[in-house]
Structure 1
Amino acid sequence: MVDRYEKQAHHEKFQGKYQAMVVCCILGVGTVISWNSMLTIEDYYYHVFPDYHPSRVLTVVYQPFALGTIMIFLDLATKGHGGIVSYIGLCAIVALFGLADATVRGGMIGDLSLMCPELIQSFMAGLAIAGALTSAIRLITKAAFEKSHDGLRKRAIIFLAIATFIELLCVILYAYVFPKLPTVKYYRSKAASEGSKTVLADLVAAGIQKQSESTDDDSKNQRLSNKELLRQNIDYAVNLFLLYVLTLSIVPGFLYENTGQHGLGTWYALVLVAMYNCWDLVGRYTPLVKWLKIENRKGLTVAVLLRFFLIPAFYFTAKYGDQGWMIMLISILGLTNGHLSVCILTRAPKGYKGPEQNALGNLLVTFLLGGVFAGVALDWLWLIGKKNVF
């Protein structure tokens, strides 16, 4: 009898795993599609708001929530003309993006942390695919509307319409498809049996488990507090913070305002952002190669710290180098960002029960987003010494 239940559980654990990986990847795309839309239509913002450093200001107040609203705002409120009032309104909408990103990304990684590492990897890959996809669409629309009247505004509206459709698709997938996949039900049931009230609520909402079903009291009593979890994993948390501090101190503000004029002209910043996004995507799949994945905690810390040598490299390349060297550096930045992000987020939850894995995932995302905010704030330091900054 026991063997039969074990076989059934083993079957449920792996049944629908690949479908879940695909769904997680799409959800990753939807999580940051609006953030990446802001990065890839910065040339439109510079056309409308040339005096307000949009690549830096908007990244300070950012992320996904109201793509439909921002599309209406661009189309109806600005009418292709800038001004401080319109700019403040745009910043307010972008601030809502930040609230939504913290909720969605934290919730998703917390949820996936109690499942298998492959689902986290797929979700993280989806985050990078969003960047690569938006860059590809942006380059295509730029080429298509290069000589069109009011082309910047037209291609920005088309771009945001596509992104809005992807967001709506993700809402449907997460609400109606993801909870019903056998592998997802298996891991959520397992976490609920270990004392996770949040996951139990998900199961009840999906009609998979009744509210009256209790969890093991010993599992509840043995749960680690958030403080203890953070103490045990402070190196992972700090590494994520430092990883995104460096990345966001360069992308996108430095790329749009500090790289000078080159042969690619108005295409230059777009190409740099596209190269970053493409190599970030590659980096999120490289941990699938076993000998490339960094499992050692000290090794991860060393790798994260070594990335800070990129700061003087970017500075001197922007000042003295040509566009080929800059493209190489931004590719390295993207590759290492994607690779180390996946290594940390798939390694950290190992060895914990479902409730601790869920909580640890949320804690790690808090540090990740803290790094993002610190990075976009430090990005302003690149303007020191520049003339006519304000």
Structure 2
Amino acid sequence: MEFYCLREPDMVNAGRVADSTRLEGKSKATLVCWILGFGSLVAWNSMLAIGDYYYNLFPKYHPSRVLTLVYQPFAIGTMAILAYYEARVDTRKRNIAGYILFCLSTFFLIVLDLATSGKGGIGPYIGICALVGLFGVADAHVQGGMVGDLSFMCPEFMQSFFAGLAASGALTSGLRLVTKAVFENTSSGLRKGTMLFLAISTFFEFLCILLYAMVFPKIPIVKYYRSKAASEGSKTVNADLAAAGIQANQGSDGMGQGRLSTKQLLLENIDYAIDLYLIYVLTLSIFPGFLYENTGQHKLGPWYPLVLIAMYNVWDLISRYTPLISCLKIESRKGLMIAILGRFLLIPAFYFTAKYGDQGWMIFLVSFLGLTNGHLTVCIMTVAPKGYKGPEQNALGNLLVLFLLGGIFTGVALDWLWIIGNGSF
């Protein structure tokens, strides 16, 4: 890091130059954050999008529910460990390891399918479950690491990262509709579409490895924020600063300089943590299992669950940009809690629509579920870290992701109540 001695007459102009320099590359960094967000969930969203293929192979094993339930314990367990030790975990190694694990797991799904010639049975199903468990480990590394890293940067980076997460769902759903239309009447059509999906996911995971390792650390605005975090006591950024050619100050251990403890941060932000937990409890109690198995038969036939998944993902993506409109962004802590609790009215709405409504009402409800999910998530993730030092923001980001994953896990478990209640288990 370079330091300059300035005379009084030069201070104003130098300040302007410094501000200009440190903001260089903001658009580039925002785009890279979007791609890194995309890569964080494209593998898992591909699994959801090809759910019809796995239902064809394993019709008695409830793949959308089981695979999601397998994924989450690994994600939340790994995330709990990483959140506890976040101040000692090198963010660069953590994120690169996560993207590599995503890449390899997705690639081995292709290998497994080729090795078994696309046949069903308990053996291949267990193999798929094992690889999905690795997805959960990778997710905890990447999502917690990236959110912690971006928490001490500008809010636009966080918004872009979460938009990328949603875009992976929207684009995979759209591509799935296209591949189903193209391959539907061909021999092994579902399998061909699945292989294409997994190949595309593997490519994007590899791209994320390169972008995070070689491009992101060298962007001027990213170097500025990481240098600032290091000056405030963060050691998690040292390897990324070294990759950018900057020697970080080694004089602090990340817990000094009066930083709040993890427990103190949690107590000060317990409402935000509960908000995220409740958002994803509701969302995952409906998406994707209920949409695949509990919406009945409609005119769209086998296309119906794919259309519902696509509508959720499209509106989830759109809603992650709506907080950029200042009049729509919710910053009131009380307002966020009221909006999130109000979403639980969707549970009886989905129940009665599935039982008595037509597909138009179901599509509307799914769209509203996605709209509120994305908007409220971005509002919380961009507001909560404000006012803290770099090491505290990193710790808070990890805590928020832990509660987010906890909400997903609880929602996935509660999702089984739909089929237990219907006596179709």
Shorter-chain-normalised TM-score: which range? Answer: over 0.9
Aligned counterpart for 2:340 among listed residues 301, 304, 314: 304
Deviation digits for residues 210-240 of structure 1, max 9, x if unmatched? Answer: 5xx3457999231100000000000000100
1:71 paired residue number: 110
1:6 paired residue number: 15
2:247 paired residue number: 209
User: Which amino acid letter does the alignment assign opposite residue 36 of structure 1?
Assistant: N
Q: Secondary structure at the match of 1:197?
A: coil
User: Which amino acid letter does the alignment assign opposite residue 29 of structure 2?
Assistant: A
Deviation digits for residues 3-28 of structure 1, max 9, x if unmatched? Answer: 45533431233110010000000100
Aligned counterpart for 2:157 among listed residues 119, 135, 139: 119
Query: 1:163, CA displacement in angstroms?
Result: 1.2
Deviation digits for residues 270-327 of structure 1, max 9, x if unmatched? Answer: 0000000000001100001100000100100111100000000000000000000000
Asked if 1:352 corresponds to 2:391, the answer is no
| C-alpha distance in 1 between matches for 2:237 and 2:17 | 21
1:321 paired residue number: 357
Deviation digits for residues 98-157 of structure 1, max 9, x if unmatched? Answer: 010011000000000000000000000000110111011101100000100111111100
State whether residues 25 and 219 of structure 2, in contact with CA within 8 Å, keep that contact through their aligned partners in structure 1: yes
Q: Secondary structure at the match of 1:22?
A: helix
Query: 1:86, CA displacement in angstroms?
Result: 1.3
Does the C-alpha gap of structure 1 residues 81 and 216 become closer, same or farther in structure 2, counting only changes over 3 Å? closer
| C-alpha distance in 2 between matches for 1:98 and 1:368 | 13
Deviates more, 1:59-68 or 1:301-310: 59-68
Deviation digits for residues 69-94 of structure 1, max 9, x if unmatched? Answer: 112112222x2221112111111110
Does the C-alpha gap of structure 1 residues 81 and 182 become closer, same or farther in structure 2, counting only changes over 3 Å? same
Query: 1:330, CA displacement in angstroms?
Result: 0.2
| C-alpha distance in 2 between matches for 1:193 and 1:145 | 56
Query: 1:386, CA displacement in angstroms?
Result: 2.9
| C-alpha distance in 2 between matches for 1:214 and 1:230 | 27
| C-alpha distance in 1 between matches for 2:296 and 2:50 | 19
| C-alpha distance in 2 between matches for 1:382 and 1:160 | 30
1:250 paired residue number: 286
CA RMSD in angstroms comes to: 1.6
Aligned counterpart for 1:84 among listed residues 122, 129, 152: 122
State whether residues 31 and 105 of structure 1, in contact with CA within 8 Å, keep that contact through their aligned partners in structure 2: yes
Question: Structure 1: where are the runs of 5+ without partners?
Answer: none
| C-alpha distance in 2 between matches for 1:161 and 1:81 | 19
**Pairs within 5 Å for 1:357-376:** 357-376=393-412
Aligned counterpart for 2:209 among listed residues 168, 171, 196: 171
User: Which amino acid letter does the alignment assign opposite residue 57 of structure 1?
Assistant: V
Does the C-alpha gap of structure 1 residues 366 and 218 become closer, same or farther in structure 2, counting only changes over 3 Å? closer
Question: Structure 2: where are the runs of 5+ without partners?
Answer: 1-5, 76-100
Query: 1:200, CA displacement in angstroms?
Result: 2.6
Query: 1:209, CA displacement in angstroms?
Result: 1.7
Aligned counterpart for 1:37 among listed residues 35, 46, 50: 46
Does the C-alpha gap of structure 1 residues 356 and 282 become closer, same or farther in structure 2, counting only changes over 3 Å? same
- The normalised TM-score by structure 2 is 0.88
How many residues of Structure 1 are paired with residues of Structure 2 in the alignment?
386
Aligned counterpart for 2:218 among listed residues 180, 187, 193: 180
